[in-house]
Structure 1
Amino acid sequence: MDSPFTDLDRPPLREAALRRALLVPGGLWREVDVLPETGSTNADLARRADETEGLVLVAESQVAGRGRLDRRWTAPPRSGLAVSVTLAPNEVPVARWGWLPLLAGVAAASAVSRVSGVEVRLKWPNDLLVGERKLAGILAERAGTAVVLGIGLNVSLRQDELPVPTATSLLLSGAENIDRDPLLRALLRELEEWYTRWRLAEGDARASGLLTAYTEACATIGRRVRVDLPAGPALEGAATAIDDDGRLVVTGPDGPTPVGAGDVVHVRPAT
C-alpha cells in the first residue's frame, strides 16, 4: 500500500474533520470511519449491519469492490469515493425498500452536481452519468434487518486510469471542484435528507417527492431502450416512466411492461 502523500493531487480524506461535520446531535450518522485500504466497504459493513443504523465507512483504496450482479469496481487509491452506509428503515414496508438505491441516486446526483458544477443524470436503476459515460454506481444489499448501501464515485481518474472506455470522472468532465471532502459531506447530507423524507412518508415514493425527483433526473426516460433479461428474449421499446414501485416501464409493441432492477441484466439504448 502506498503512502497517502505519494500523489499530491490526491490528498487523503480528513477523518477527524468529517466526524466533526457529520456526527451531529439528532442526526442520522453515528460513526464515520476512513480506512486506508479494504476489500469492500459493503462487505465490511454487512458484518456489522445489525449493530446500529447510521454507520459510514469510507475506503481510500478498495481492492475488491463490487457493483450490481457482482461486477468488479476498481480505481487507484484516493482517486474517488468508495463509501458504504447502513440504513434500517424498519417502519417502512420491506416491499418499498427497493427504492433505497434509487433514493441514493437522487441524493448523489444532486450533491455531486452542486459541488462539482457538472450536470449529473441518472441511468435506471443505479448509475450516475455525465453525458453517456458512467460516473458512479450504487449497490444496495440486505444484511439481516438492515440495508448496506454503497456508492462508488470516480473523482480524479485520468483517461488512462478509467476501468472501461464508457466511464468518466469529475476531473475528465471539467468539474470546478474535485475535493473529495466537500463531495462526501454533501453526498451524506443529501442522502440523510432524502432518507428522512422517504422514511417519514413510510416509504411512499410519490408522497415523499422521491418519484418526481427521480423521474426528473433520469436520462433513461424518453429513450428507446433494449432491456436484457436473464432468460427469454430482450425487451425493446420506449422507456416511458418509473412506476410507484421503482420499476422502469418499457412500452413496446405489446404495450407497457414494468421491469424491476432485480430482473434486469443490462439496460442499453436500442439500436
Structure 2
Amino acid sequence: MDQPNLDPFEPEYFLKMAPAYRDKLVYFPTIDSTNLEARKRLRGPHGPREMVLVTDRQTAGRGRLNRTWEAPFASGLLCTLALPLAPLSLDRAYLYTASVALSLLESAWREGGVELQLKWPNDLLRDGRKCCGILAEIEHGLGPNRDESWLALGFGLNTGLTEADFAAAGLTGRAANVFPPGLTVDREAFLAATLATLENFRVQLAEDPETVRRAWSEKLVTLGKPVEVRNMGGTLQLEGVAVGVDPNGGLQVRTAEGKLETVQAGDVSVRLAGGGYA
C-alpha cells in the first residue's frame, strides 16, 4: 500500500516557486487555527496586511457551520489567506471564496491531472468524496480610518490521510485525499500554483466580477440535481431541484410545487436527495 508523504511544509522550497510571497508567508508547525491567527494579526498593532498563513497541524480547526476538524501532522495543505475585501462589496464577498475554489480546482488538474468537482457553495470533491473545504470570515473596522474590511480565507486540502484516518473521523466513503492512491501531492508546488491562479482571478474581480460568478456557477455539480436543505440541527427545511445561483451566491431551489426558493450558504447544509454528498 502506498504510504502518504507526511514531510513538513518547507517554506524556502515554496518561496523558490513563489518569491513574491516572501514578506507574506507565515509558517507554523502547529497552531490552533490559521483563520483565528489571521484575524488576530489583521487586528494587530501593525494594521492589516496581506498574508499567507500555513501550518502542518491545527488543534482547533473549524469548517463551515462551525464543524471541527483535526488531522495528523502534515496530512493536509492547511492555509489561510488574509486579503482586503475591496474592491468588492460585502454582498459579493463570496466571489473571493469562489475564486479560491476555482484556483484549487485548476491546481489539482495542473499538478496531478485530477478533475475535481465543486459542490455548492465551495466544497471540493473527488469522485463524490470531499477533499477540501473553504471557510471565509470577515473582519470589519480595520485600517487607519477604521473603514476597511478584510477576509480570512481558510482552506484545508486533504493530501496524506489514510482510510484509517477517515474511518476514525466517521468519514468512510465521504472524504478523500485530493489525489488518488499512487499520486503524491507536492504541497508547496500546489500552493504556489493556487496562488498564481488566484492572482489572475483577483484581476477579474476588480475588472469584471460577473465573469468569476459565471465560471464558479458553471463548475457547480449541485445544479440540476434534487437536493435536501437542512438546518444546523439536521432538520429538513426544503426539498427540490437546484436550478441556479443568484447574484449574491445563493442557491436557487425549485420545489415540487414550482416555487423558487433561495438558500444562503451560512444557514444550511445541502445534500443530494437520498443522502448523497454532492
TM range (shorter): 0.7 to 0.9
Aligned residue among 35, 41, 49 for 1:48: 41
Q: In the TM superposition, what whole-angstrom CA distance separates every residue of 1:201-251 from its partner, at most 9, and x where no partner exists?
A: 3xx3x2xx2122112221111110001135985211111112221111111
Q: Which residue of 1 aligns with 2:218?
A: 216
Q: 1-side partners of 2:115 and 2:82: how far apart?
A: 28
Q: Which residue of 2 aligns with 1:170?
A: 178
Do the aligned partners of residues 259 and 30 (structure 1) sit closer, same or farther apart at CA in structure 2, a change above 3 Å counting?
A: farther
For residue 45 of structure 1, give the secondary structure of its aligned residue in structure 2: helix
Is the contact between residue 19 and residue 31 of structure 1 (CA under 8 Å) also seen in structure 2?
no
Q: In the TM superposition, what whole-angstrom CA distance separates every residue of 1:100-125 from its partner, at most 9, and x where no partner exists?
A: 22222111112122212221111101
Q: 2-side partners of 1:106 and 1:223: how far apart?
A: 21
Do the aligned partners of residues 43 and 110 (structure 1) sit closer, same or farther apart at CA in structure 2, a change above 3 Å counting?
A: same
5+ long unaligned stretches in structure 2:
141-148
Q: Which has the higher contact order (CA 8 A, sep 6+)?
A: 2
State whether structure 2 residue 263 is matched by structure 1 residue 259: yes
Q: 2-side partners of 1:263 and 1:136: how far apart?
A: 20
Aligned residue among 7, 13, 18 for 1:11: 7
Do the aligned partners of residues 250 and 87 (structure 1) sit closer, same or farther apart at CA in structure 2, a change above 3 Å counting?
A: same
5+ long unaligned stretches in structure 1:
1-6
Deviates more, 1:158-167 or 1:50-59: 50-59
- Tell me the TM-score normalised to structure 1 length: 0.87
Q: In the TM superposition, what whole-angstrom CA distance separates every residue of 1:55-107 from its partner, at most 9, and x where no partner exists?
A: 00000111110001210111110111100010103232222113222222111
- Tell me the TM-score normalised to structure 2 length: 0.85
Is the contact between residue 239 and residue 251 of structure 1 (CA under 8 Å) also seen in structure 2?
yes
Q: Which residue of 2 aligns with 1:189?
A: 196
Q: 1-side partners of 2:178 and 2:104: how far apart?
A: 13
Q: 1-side partners of 2:59 and 2:108: how far apart?
A: 24
Q: 2-side partners of 1:117 and 1:176: how far apart?
A: 10
Q: 1-side partners of 2:90 and 2:265: how far apart?
A: 16
Q: 1-side partners of 2:4 and 2:123: how far apart?
A: 29
4+ aligned runs moved over 4 Å, structure 1: 230-233
Identity, in percent, stands at 31
Q: Which residue of 2 aligns with 1:69?
A: 65
For residue 136 of structure 1, give the secondary structure of its aligned residue in structure 2: strand
Do the aligned partners of residues 269 and 47 (structure 1) sit closer, same or farther apart at CA in structure 2, a change above 3 Å counting?
A: same
- The CA deviation at 1:44 is 0.5
Superposed CA RMSD: 2.1
State whether structure 2 residue 100 is matched by structure 1 residue 104: yes
Is the contact between residue 117 and residue 175 of structure 1 (CA under 8 Å) also seen in structure 2?
no
Letter in 2 for 1:168: A
Q: Which residue of 2 aligns with 1:122?
A: 118
Q: Which residue of 2 aligns with 1:91?
A: 87
